[in-house]
Structure 1
Amino acid sequence: MLCHAALDRAAQLARHWSDHGCPVVIHVDARTPQAQFDGLRAALQDLPDIRFTPRLPCDWGTFGIVQATQDAATRMLADFPQVSHVLLASGSCLPIKPVRALQAHLARHPDTDFIESVTTADVGWTIGGLNEERFTLRFPFKWKSQRRLFDGYVSLQRLFRFRRRLPQGLVPHLGSQWWCLTRPTLQAILQHKDRARIDRYFKRMWIPDESYFQSLVRQVSTRIESRSLTLSKFDYQGRPYIFYDDHLHLLRQADAFIARKAWHQADLLYRTFLTPDGDRAHATEPSPGKINRLFAKAVERRVNGRPGLYMQSRFPIRARGGTQSAAPYGVFCGFAPLFPDFQPWLARALEARVHGHLFAFDRVQFADGETVFKGGLSDSPTLRDYNPRSFLANLIWNTRGETQCFQFGPGDEQEIAPVIASDPNASIFLISGAFAIPLWQSGRSAAEVRTEAARLQKVESDFIHLLKGPETKARTRILSLAEFIENPAEPLEQLVDLLNPRGAHRMTDLPQLLDLHGFGSFLQDLRNQGMAPVLMGDFPSDAELALPAPPFARPRVVR
């Protein structure tokens, strides 16, 4: 048993093993305070089959862990000749099956070594890209406390293409540190004829505890089952999962005999499993497939998170993919100028919350004129513009279950444009050129609004170019103003079907289309002033402009 912290739990575990007839040899990290070590010895002094080995410093990733294991294994074989198998555990490795069940399992496999041992080409769990290089480079510096020296020395060796020569006959293998070996196999490793040379080689390796026994066992073992009897799971960064009290049901279904690593304050786990029967009365059938799925789900949740949830522990980044918002929403560009009653009509048609221009420069136009929206979102443009992406994500997250829609145009703050364009949850409907309608209604001459019209057209043109780019993931529908007014009913019906496909749409009316007589002359005046209004399409002249379509009713089959 290798220990370095929470020695009170280590004492409890050692006593549990000893009470079931298993002798224990304990190594305590030299960096652990002497007072704690003395307390551990005092707590176990009444047990005759407990031994302690000389204390060595065991920095992570260094040979000290291997040397401590060697010393403990040598002491175990020398002092306890009746031992047939030796299992390596830590001070936080909790037996989750009865000890006699483990003993019976080993008795059925007297010649089998249980150790995870795979070649470097088959390893899929290592983090950092040092599968093979850990065997071919030198690692004299500690990764945790001498990180700059560690990285610099690795880069230097790569630059000069340095490569260590493997000891003759050694085939590199990797695997879990926690193994259970037969007595003959462990003796053969400790008494290897080339052990001095092999130890010198591994002393300059990185994380040798995952490769020393895993490689040498291939030379001396007669039967290997490449798996560990200890449940040890790691997250996407290579850090071990810690088991807490709320993992009790999960551990009861594990197909392993030991779980690493149990939190030292998980009183329920220790109280449940460290009983004479080891929780046998409450044990359920092992379900390793379910456990693996749960861990895979945990990794996915940790890496990708939940769509649209931005939090301190996981902030979505582009490299990890995923949606930027929590639910589908609609963005409407150019509809409000054409339909004075567009927002209340859309709210009725979709049964949704329809906002005004959320990204207007003067204020956030929440639905119904609210100044503070769900989640404490303020209508202050200063607060919104501090982080527009998070503002939109918060709005969608706080209103899950209710479809949100808002207006957007070239007169709004454009920093949010790439965000909504790249969001698969966004549905963007755009009528190009409608930005000119408020300029026409302002009563000012074409000469007075020409500069503003040119600016707005440039902004909208850039937005359309963005929507047609390869980075766009939103669903888009773009129509010119001329195309739209030819048949406004069809695109309006399509947007309702797209945003609420399961709704029972009975569109008996359309929003009232603005009377556009005189708008064609306004566009011509802009041309005469030197500005080319191209986004409106081939807009008809006043004489050709058709009257607004009558209220539209969807054709239905009547029996």
Structure 2
Amino acid sequence: MNSLGIVMLVHTALDRAEQVARHWTAAGCPVVIHVDRKVGEPEYSDFVAACADDPLILFSDRHVCEWGGWGIVAASQSAATLMLDRFPNVRHVFLSSGACLPLRPVEELIAYLADRPRVDFIESATTADVTWTVGGLDLERFTLRFPFSWRKQRRLFDLHVRLQRRLGIRREIPDGLVPHMGSQWWCLTRQTLSAILQDPRRAVYDSYFRHVWIPDESYFQTLTRLYSTHIESRSLTLSKFDYQGRPHVFYDDHLQLLRRSDCFVARKIWPHADRLYQTFLTGQGCALTPAEPNPGKIDRVFAKAVERRLRGRDGLYMQGRFPSHDDENRLTAYPYSVFQGFAEVFEDFETWLTNATDTRVHGHLFHPEGAQFADGEALTNGALSDCAALRDYNPTSFLTNLIWNTRGERQCFQFGPGDNQKINPVLARDKNAQISIITGAWAVPLFRSNLNFADIRAEAARLQQIETKQLRTLETAGIKAKVRVWSMADFVEAPMEPLQTVIDEIGAEQPNHLTEAPTMVDLTGFGKFLQNLKNQGMHPYLMGDFPADDVFGTQAKTFRKPYLVQ
């Protein structure tokens, strides 16, 4: 008689459970099956009759098994007790489910356990050391009572927890117990398992754990610590969980992934994964060389899957996944640059920037009259239209689509307080955004316009208010964009250094030092213009300290052809 016994907890896909059970018994391993009492009597009877010809398959007393309830522990106790009573040669008992599938020959598992006759394999860690409880309770699961189902009676569950907290109700943990938690799938020695099941204080322990939340993850994990002489705190069953704490389901296309894990058993297998069952239950899944189970080999794949599920691909939105606010990796797919005030301070700035950086430089993409694409295009990559109404229906999608459709080519565009400001929060939160701002530069077009001064003053006040609000948005905590801000006075006084900084950050393929700035607009009289605004009651503070004697109009010309110091 073999030294390994299998306990199976089954509630669905009974045909697959029979197939796996016969695979175990073919290697000489006795199997005790517990079938959830919620399974109908006709279906249960047919299942028992189908297995009746195999003397190594037995059925234990049935219990109702609810998620997070005591029934799963009671089912494990009943089946394990029957296993120890009927098969005295069994030295290790392996707990599995009907959705578990052996990945390696049973003989390899038997030999592995025979080399470790007194080792208990059970994940068992204190609440302080557990980091994988998702949306649940840690120590409180052992000190509060949980008479209501978390899944079926969620409101009552939450209300009862809050009531116990408010009243300060706490349960006493039985003397000598230190609560531990871990995966419910274990492999215990006869000595340890029998000590748990035959303990004189078992009634006390059972009464206590009956009202612990999710006791199947703590009952054996805690009591094993009282009796085991050698615990390896790990499960021999490969089970992976998503970010919500739900088990990953393995399908046919996970075949190579499961082989790579070198684990003995895996769950949760989709019952219709015919290729997996055929491969691993016919000996074709044999490991080439005996290896230590190492689920860490595939952890990177699951970590990547969790990241992809939560955050998706940078800048790619789809019907099935929109990332939570502030939980995005990058809102867009590729770095891009936003220039505010540069096109107002320099003549033909867009052409100069195109030649200096070899990027695609657009005008004001969020201009009220429509998107100003590079080269005057009405449509750009991805059939994006310059229509203002279409763009403003969803400005975020307009930007993310533009960057996604042109990924690999850096996009640059102009922006200002006269544009659609709804995009500002998105720009501020995007790690890919490089934002360069010359504050107050919006006054230059007003200065050069032929409007009545009363209209200029009103428009200047409006634009300054908008830009001030924008700057506050960019100064708040949690901003992910790379933002550089210069007042217009500081920029005009020495434009080369900020221009060089911006060009370097764009990361041209062949970076070089600028020897000539773009042609600056004629600012003669700009200082007096600002003073006139002040005299009329409008205070233009965003431009910086511009003297009223028109000094910048003279100095600006000296920076058109700067000299280099060798």
TM over 0.5, shorter chain:
yes
1:483 is aligned with what amino acid?
Answer: D
The match for 1:339 is 346
Deviates more, 1:387-396 or 1:202-211: 387-396
1:545 lines up with 2:553 in the alignment: yes
8 Å CA contact 2:515, 2:564 repeated in 1? no
Q: Take 1:272 and 1:521, find their aligned partners in 2: how far apart are those partners?
A: 85
Distance apart, 1:42 and its partner CA: 4.4
Distance apart, 1:484 and its partner CA: 2.9
8 Å CA contact 2:33, 2:58 repeated in 1? yes
Q: Take 2:291 and 2:410, find their aligned partners in 1: how far apart are those partners?
A: 44
Unaligned runs of 5+ in 2: 1-7
Distance apart, 1:438 and its partner CA: 2.0
8 Å CA contact 1:253, 1:284 repeated in 2? no
Name the count of aligned residue pairs: 557
Aligned equivalent of 2:282, options 275, 278, 281: 275
Secondary structure of 2:185 counterpart: coil
2:483 is aligned with what amino acid?
Answer: T
1:93 lines up with 2:105 in the alignment: no
The match for 2:538 is 531
Distance apart, 1:160 and its partner CA: 0.8
1:411-450 maps to which residues of 2 (within 5 A)? 411-450=418-457
Q: Take 1:316 and 1:531, find their aligned partners in 2: how far apart are those partners?
A: 43
Aligned equivalent of 1:202, options 206, 209, 213: 209
**Residues 25 and 536 (structure 1 numbering): CA distance in 2 closer, same or farther, change over 3 Å?**
same
The match for 2:118 is 111
The match for 2:78 is 71
1:410 is aligned with what amino acid?
Answer: P
Over the matched positions of the two proteins, sequence identity in percent amounts to: 57
Aligned equivalent of 2:177, options 170, 183, 186: 170
Deviates more, 1:71-80 or 1:93-102: 71-80
1:350 lines up with 2:378 in the alignment: no
Deviates more, 1:162-171 or 1:403-412: 162-171
8 Å CA contact 2:517, 2:561 repeated in 1? yes
1:89-488 maps to which residues of 2 (within 5 A)? 89-276=96-283, 278-281=285-288, 288-318=295-325, 320=327, 322-488=329-495
Secondary structure of 1:2 counterpart: strand
User: What CA deviation, in whole Å up to 9, does each residue of 1:378-429 have, x standing for no partner?
Assistant: 4343443344334323332332211111111011122222332343322221
8 Å CA contact 1:230, 1:258 repeated in 2? yes
Distance apart, 1:346 and its partner CA: 1.5
8 Å CA contact 2:531, 2:548 repeated in 1? no
**Residues 540 and 36 (structure 1 numbering): CA distance in 2 closer, same or farther, change over 3 Å?**
farther
Secondary structure of 1:548 counterpart: helix
Distance apart, 1:260 and its partner CA: 1.4
Secondary structure of 2:97 counterpart: coil
8 Å CA contact 1:25, 1:50 repeated in 2? yes
Distance apart, 1:156 and its partner CA: 0.8
User: What CA deviation, in whole Å up to 9, does each residue of 1:510-546 have, x standing for no partner?
Assistant: 4333233344444344334322333233156457622
Secondary structure of 1:431 counterpart: strand
Deviates more, 1:121-130 or 1:226-235: 121-130
Aligned equivalent of 1:53, options 56, 60, 64: 60
Distance apart, 1:332 and its partner CA: 0.6
**Residues 523 and 134 (structure 1 numbering): CA distance in 2 closer, same or farther, change over 3 Å?**
closer
8 Å CA contact 2:436, 2:484 repeated in 1? yes
The match for 1:20 is 27
Q: Take 1:4 and 1:270, find their aligned partners in 2: how far apart are those partners?
A: 18
2:31 is aligned with what amino acid?
Answer: V
Deviates more, 1:83-92 or 1:361-370: 361-370
Deviates more, 1:537-546 or 1:67-76: 537-546
Deviates more, 1:54-63 or 1:117-126: 117-126
Distance apart, 1:462 and its partner CA: 2.6
Distance apart, 1:62 and its partner CA: 0.3
Q: Take 1:524 and 1:104, find their aligned partners in 2: how far apart are those partners?
A: 92
Secondary structure of 1:545 counterpart: helix
Deviates more, 1:101-110 or 1:394-403: 394-403
Distance apart, 1:555 and its partner CA: 5.0
8 Å CA contact 1:316, 1:324 repeated in 2? no
Secondary structure of 2:12 counterpart: coil
1:548 is aligned with what amino acid?
Answer: K
Deviates more, 1:23-32 or 1:384-393: 384-393
8 Å CA contact 2:68, 2:149 repeated in 1? yes
8 Å CA contact 2:417, 2:463 repeated in 1? yes
1:403 is aligned with what amino acid?
Answer: R
Distance apart, 1:458 and its partner CA: 1.7
Alignment RMSD (CA, Å): 2.8
1:11 lines up with 2:6 in the alignment: no
**Residues 117 and 532 (structure 1 numbering): CA distance in 2 closer, same or farther, change over 3 Å?**
closer
Q: Take 2:505 and 2:285, find their aligned partners in 1: how far apart are those partners?
A: 57
Q: Take 1:275 and 1:60, find their aligned partners in 2: how far apart are those partners?
A: 32
Distance apart, 1:495 and its partner CA: 1.5
User: What CA deviation, in whole Å up to 9, does each residue of 1:57-103 have, x standing for no partner?
Assistant: 21100011111111111222222223222111001111111100000
TM-score by length of 2: 0.90
2:349 is aligned with what amino acid?
Answer: F
8 Å CA contact 2:525, 2:553 repeated in 1? no
**Residues 379 and 40 (structure 1 numbering): CA distance in 2 closer, same or farther, change over 3 Å?**
farther
Deviates more, 1:503-512 or 1:459-468: 503-512
2:543 is aligned with what amino acid?
Answer: M
**Residues 550 and 457 (structure 1 numbering): CA distance in 2 closer, same or farther, change over 3 Å?**
closer
**Residues 413 and 91 (structure 1 numbering): CA distance in 2 closer, same or farther, change over 3 Å?**
same
Deviates more, 1:405-414 or 1:395-404: 395-404
Secondary structure of 2:243 counterpart: coil
Q: Take 2:172 and 2:494, find their aligned partners in 1: how far apart are those partners?
A: 77
The match for 2:506 is 499
Q: Take 1:488 and 1:256, find their aligned partners in 2: how far apart are those partners?
A: 64
**Residues 270 and 282 (structure 1 numbering): CA distance in 2 closer, same or farther, change over 3 Å?**
farther
**Residues 200 and 356 (structure 1 numbering): CA distance in 2 closer, same or farther, change over 3 Å?**
same
Q: Take 1:240 and 1:370, find their aligned partners in 2: how far apart are those partners?
A: 50
Q: Take 2:290 and 2:322, find their aligned partners in 1: how far apart are those partners?
A: 39
